[in-house]
Structure 1
Amino acid sequence: MNAQDLISKWKEAGELANERETLAHREQLVSEMVSFMRGCGFAEEHLNLLNVIIVAESAHQPVRGFWQAFESSMVFEALDRYLPNWRRFPLGMTLDQFIVEVRRQMWMNAFDEENAERFFALPVAERPTSANAALKQIHADLVRIGAFAGLEKATADGSPTGARAFDRYQCIDAADKGKTHLTLLGQTVKECRDAARKISRSAG
């Protein structure tokens, strides 16, 4: 076997290992969402957009790039496992609309996270310390990089972009320091888990 063949085999082995690692990570996240739904007694009557967003948040890990790598298909896979007939349940909108909205919300999570991560490129003294400051910084960043589609989304009337990105920034910053900061949705996830544990202890 010549050197080029050996390099090719190493590359193939590396790609296969990466693929296995990716599949294992995907399985971990899907299982986390299923476990959350089971533990919190998620049922047909709870199936709406907000609750499904909370289910997705239950898999969140406070690391850079999490939401940018997260696939909305994992949410649907978790629902398929836990509620196999969920597509037949009342969703408050058509199935197609529901799927589009879930995907849009996952895109927003990634958008918020990407905005938050850019704050770390700034000197500590210049990083946003409020939602309003975050929005101003996002506006400046998006203008600088020419991301006009994102700029329109960020500056729309009533846009929560600044607050959401600042929340994500605080979450990542705390994790970097070995601390914990829960986003608003993360707090809801914690409350659901705490309530489920309390019920479980009472039943035991």
Structure 2
Amino acid sequence: MNLLILSTTLKNILVLLQDEKNKIYTRILTENKSGNYLAKAIKEVVEESKTNIKNIDEFGIDIGPGSFTGIRVAISTLQGLLIDNPEKEVYTFFSSDVLYRSVVNNNHDLKKKKLTVLKRARENAAYASIYEDGKRIFGPQMVFEDFLINSMNNCILINEEAEYFKNKYKLENEVFYSNIEEESLIAETLKGKRVKIKNLEPLYLQKPLAVENLERRKTK
């Protein structure tokens, strides 16, 4: 089986192709506006693997939580690749699950502990996912100051972006870092929900500011 995975909500944009012999080809994009080069990166891994798009059996895509712009670029790119096959089902997954799995795979003693992946949504809000005993027990969900201060007792924080909230709210939680493992990315992709490419959408967690402000005024 040839598998192509796109992830645009982690620290770097990642394109991964695993061929039928389980050999892995990757491109990591770190430049500003690297989403502009996503199609080129796909072309490069396909050519390096000596296959073509028509021979790729399965596709996976990171639908969040994270930058809507990055997710939309990835979705548009994938829909363009499969424009002649709108009923094709693709795997969808959460980038927070990949971060968690990458951490516990390298640190087995952490699997029994309570871990929280935090990603910045905006200055005073985070996308949070909480895990315990190898399972996600909360999220992904957008959370604010009260949750960050009061609802993560005894949690180990995962992700570089968690450092921002630790410093901002003077949290005492330990912060743990890990590189993304290719094996973890593939495993979480194949566990993901399958969606027809024509119905593919980002994970929507963040309401527009105008909507939030209106709701706050109504509750006063």
TM category, shorter? 0.3 to 0.5
TM-score (normalised: structure 2) = 0.32
TM-score (normalised: structure 1) = 0.34
Say which one has the larger Rg.
1
Bigger proportion of residues as helix: 1
Bigger proportion of residues as strand: 2
More RCO (CA 8 Å, sep 6+):
1
